[in-house]
Amino acid sequence: MANTATHDHAHDHHDHKPHGLKRWLFATNHKDIGTMYLVFACAMFFMGGAMALVIRAELFQPGLQFVDPGFFNSMTTMHALLMIFGAVMPAWTGLANWMVPMQVGAPDMALPRLNNFSFWLLPFAFTLLLLTLFVPGGAPAGGWTLYPPLSLQAGDSFPLTIFAIHLMGISSILGAINVVVTILNMRAPGMGLLNMPLFCWTWLITAYLLIAVMPVLAGAVTMLLTDYFFGTSFFAASGGGDPVMFQHIFWFFGHPEVYILILPAFGVVSEIIPTFSRKPLFGYESMVYASASIAFLSFIVWAHHMFTVGMPLAGQLFFMLSTMLIAVPTGVKVFNWCATMWKGSISFETPMLFSIAFLFLFTIGGFSGLMLAIVPADFQYHDSYFVVAHFHYVLVPGAVFAIMAGVYYWLPKWSGRMYNEKVGKLHFWLSTIGVNVLFFPQHFLGLAGMPRRIPDYSTQFADWNMVSSIGAFIFGFSQLLFVYVIWSAVRSGEKAADRPWEGAHGLEWELPTPAPYHSWETPPSRAVISQGAMH
């Protein structure tokens, strides 16, 4: 071991790095691993997206035209698993890998080998998951929430799915530990916690959420596994268990998971809006406290996903009130972003456009979230397309737009080259129009009484389903532009300046462009830190 360590040490200095396959297989560099995470996330995004298009193609018209209802259920289940665990979470880890060391003035992540391991678990996890499409009984079709007893009706896909989820969970926990250790131990001297950029803050909080709840998910799916194979009856009423208990355990993981997906988005947007408003972030400290409050509240609202399971009145009231309370810190964030733009000097480059769309559309998702918190109304909304519209508004123009904004924003620093602003803007407009045509009508469908997760519907729902499907195809295919714009930038984009955005502050912009392989080999001086902080 000691030998290997000195060997690596000798070679890793400056830009010496292994070439070819070895560079990636044995990668310990935060940028290489970050790139792999992002490429992996992109691949999963397109695979999950293709499944979404199967869903929307089948729902284009009433009647079953293309797929069997069982396969349709597999598509909704796999779409969710791929998008949540394969696309959004790895994309955030990828961005954390790239940005956290650069933003805190460190040379790399604290635990590089762990970093390698946590990435390389993912291709195996998702190979297992995708293999289920080809096993007898088909891919899991009980919904990504895996509610028993339905999820226990799965065929041979069952153990593969459970093992894949375990691997994803281990990967997330290790990634989260790495972020925590890096942020707490590797900040440059002079950088206090409250000097950190908000992206580091929101990721630090996210990492704690991950460490807290991924083991809960692992426990829940392990109990499913023993119910399936070893005759336990944790969730089988016939053996003294309770199917509802699974839902409590699952959502105790599941609700913080929602904030795991969205908190880093708050961080990215909090970096981009000040840059293009040419003005420091308004209310930095209250943003930090608001993020922490959201994380805390996320642990005590889980049962709002299950208002219809028949809880006691007191329980329903508690979860209604605690859920409504989340609107307060979330509101503080939105108001702070508005105040950041107020009296700024705003320009509209692609990252800013995506952040503005985030602001508008995430707020719409927040409104429908508030409506869903009202228990009596939720008895109508629950498990209808209104819910589908709600969580896609917070996850697509919420989390996904923020990831794209972040990629556009930092790409010049990563690659040393600028993307084509015209194509970037085209990608933005097509995505924004597409996403609204896709998801806004789903509010109408849900309110009019269309349940979610159905492959076919009554003819009264035909019109808006057709509109929604058209939006899905616009949105889906315009994402090819995203790949094109990044590919062409990395290949042949114009050379980018060290600080390509005139309003950009933060340690990452104090590094040369493209960023050196080992970001900060010597920690930045206090002067550089305070110049970078600017808030």
Partner 1 sequence: MTRHARSALAAAAFAILGGLAPLAAHAEWGNVNMTVGVTELSKEIHSLHMTIFWWCVAIGVFVFGWMIWSLVAFRKSQGAKPDTTMTHSTKAEIIWTVIPVVILVIMAIPAARTLIAIEDTRNTEISIKVTGYQWKWHYDYLGEDVKFFSSLARASDEARQLKSGVNPESVENYLLDVDNPLVVPEDTKVRVLLTAQDVIHAWWVPAFGMKKDAIPGNVNELWFKVEKGKTGLYRGQCAELCGRDHGFMPIVVKVVTKDEYRAWLAAQKPGAAAPADTTSEPAADAAPTVAALPAAPRG
- Scan residues 400-459 and list those touching partner 1 (CB under 8 A): 443-444, 447-449, 451-459
Residue from 134, 296, 342, 487 touching partner 1 (CB under 8 A): that is 342
Does residue 231 belong to the site contacting partner 1 (CB under 8 A)? no
**Residue 471 beta carbon to partner 1: minimum distance, rounded to whole angstroms:** 15
Please identify, using beta-carbon distances, which residue of 174 and 273 lies nearer to partner 1: 273
**Residue 22 beta carbon to partner 1: minimum distance, rounded to whole angstroms:** 45
Does residue 359 belong to the site contacting partner 1 (CB under 8 A)? yes
Active-site option among 32, 58, 227, 257: 257
Does residue 474 belong to the site contacting partner 1 (CB under 8 A)? no
The DSSP result for 501-530, as a single string, is STT--SGGGGS-SSPPSSS-SSPPPHHHHH
What whole-number distance in Å separates Cα of residue 109 and Cα of residue 363? 34
**84 backbone dihedrals φ, ψ, rounded to 5°:** -75, -55
Beta-bridge partner residues of 495: 417
Q: Is 255 a catalytic residue?
A: yes
Does residue 310 belong to the site contacting partner 1 (CB under 8 A)? yes
Residues 6+ apart with CB under 8 A from 397: 357, 358, 360, 361, 362, 365, 432, 435
Please identify, using beta-carbon distances, which residue of 34 and 503 lies nearer to partner 1: 503
Please identify, using beta-carbon distances, which residue of 127 and 153 lies nearer to partner 1: 153
Give residues 16-45 in contact with partner 1 (rule: CB under 8 A).
none
The pattern of x and - marking residues 93 through 112 that bind partner 1 according to CB under 8 A reads --------------------
Active-site option among 12, 58, 108, 349: 108
Give residues 490-519 in contact with partner 1 (rule: CB under 8 A).
503
Residue from 184, 193, 317, 480 touching partner 1 (CB under 8 A): that is 317
Give me 95's structure tokens.
């961005």
Task: Judge whether 49 and 94 are in contact, CB under 8 Å.
Answer: no
Q: What kind and span of H or E run contains 389?
A: helix 385-394
**140 backbone dihedrals φ, ψ, rounded to 5°:** -55, 140
**Residue 95 beta carbon to partner 1: minimum distance, rounded to whole angstroms:** 25
Binding part of the chain for partner 1, among 104-112, 205-213, 278-286, 476-484 by CB under 8 A, reads 278-286
**Residue of 368, 393, 359 lying closest to 468 (CA atoms):** 393
Please identify, using beta-carbon distances, which residue of 278 and 425 lies nearer to partner 1: 278
Instruction: Evaluate the omega torsion of the peptide bond into residue 149 and state whether it is cis, within 30 degrees of 0.
Output: yes
What whole-number distance in Å separates Cα of residue 356 and Cα of residue 501? 17
Q: Is 323 a catalytic residue?
A: no
What whole-number distance in Å separates Cα of residue 230 and Cα of residue 237? 16
Residue from 60, 335, 473, 484 touching partner 1 (CB under 8 A): that is 335
∠ CA 504-507-508, nearest 5°, is 75
Does residue 207 belong to the site contacting partner 1 (CB under 8 A)? no
What whole-number distance in Å separates Cα of residue 388 and Cα of residue 202? 26
Does residue 211 belong to the site contacting partner 1 (CB under 8 A)? no
Does residue 194 belong to the site contacting partner 1 (CB under 8 A)? no
Task: Judge whether 195 and 236 are in contact, CB under 8 Å.
Answer: no
Give residues 67-96 in contact with partner 1 (rule: CB under 8 A).
67-70, 73
**Residue 474 beta carbon to partner 1: minimum distance, rounded to whole angstroms:** 18
Task: Judge whether 414 and 515 are in contact, CB under 8 Å.
Answer: yes
Residue from 182, 277, 431, 442 touching partner 1 (CB under 8 A): that is 277
The residue written with tokens 């996850």 in the block is 395
What type of residue sits at position 507? Answer: L
Please identify, using beta-carbon distances, which residue of 184 and 321 lies nearer to partner 1: 321
Give residues 366-405 in contact with partner 1 (rule: CB under 8 A).
367, 370-371, 374-377, 379-380, 382-384
* Residue 397 DSSP one-character state: I
What whole-number distance in Å separates Cα of residue 482 and Cα of residue 477? 10
What whole-number distance in Å separates Cα of residue 354 and Cα of residue 55? 26
Q: Is 151 a catalytic residue?
A: no
What whole-number distance in Å separates Cα of residue 531 and Cα of residue 449? 55
Give residues 126-145 in contact with partner 1 (rule: CB under 8 A).
141-143
**Residue 211 beta carbon to partner 1: minimum distance, rounded to whole angstroms:** 29
Catalytic center residues = 79, 108, 144, 171-172, 255, 257, 259, 270, 304-305, 330, 333, 452
